[in-house]
Amino acid sequence: MKKIFQIILGISFLFVLVGCSSQETATFTRKTDNAEFFVIYTYDKNKDTVSKLKIESTESDAISEVRKENEEIFETLKGIDGVVTSITEKDGKLISTVEIDLTKNKFSTLKDSDNVFIRALIRSGYLTGDGDDALFSKSKEAPIKQGFKEQTKK
């Protein structure tokens, strides 16, 4: 009986922790004739802080040209803590992804980066913040200004 109580208590505790999570995801999309772009923020709803930024593009034309350009950019991102890049081809389309984990690399550190890609993200406002934290309410303004549409949850 004691074991059953401990199992039930453990499961209940797990549900409480999951239920208290204030992590949200917001996805912004923009389509052109031959490409689709996604900007995905994972953020703490209560604190308004971005914990992860993912930028993804799916392009159908000039795959070899775009791939070479993206590989050169991604090469400069190697070794930056919390940054993961990938390039894949699927169904004749090139999918390029950059993920920045802001739990591993503070916003204040990224602001001081000499990496061209990171500096461009910050200069264009995709990551905007205060001190060590990028703020979602401010960061989301950049993709909206550049024609991205926020996907709403149904």
Residue range 30-51: mean pLDDT, rounded: 94
Instruction: Dump pLDDT digits (tens) for 95-108.
Output: 999 999 999 988 99
* Distance in Å from the first CA to the final CA of the chain: 43
| pLDDT given at position 17 | 44
Whether the predicted pLDDT of 12 surpasses 60: no
Instruction: Dump pLDDT digits (tens) for 104-126.
Output: 988 999 999 899 999 999 999 99
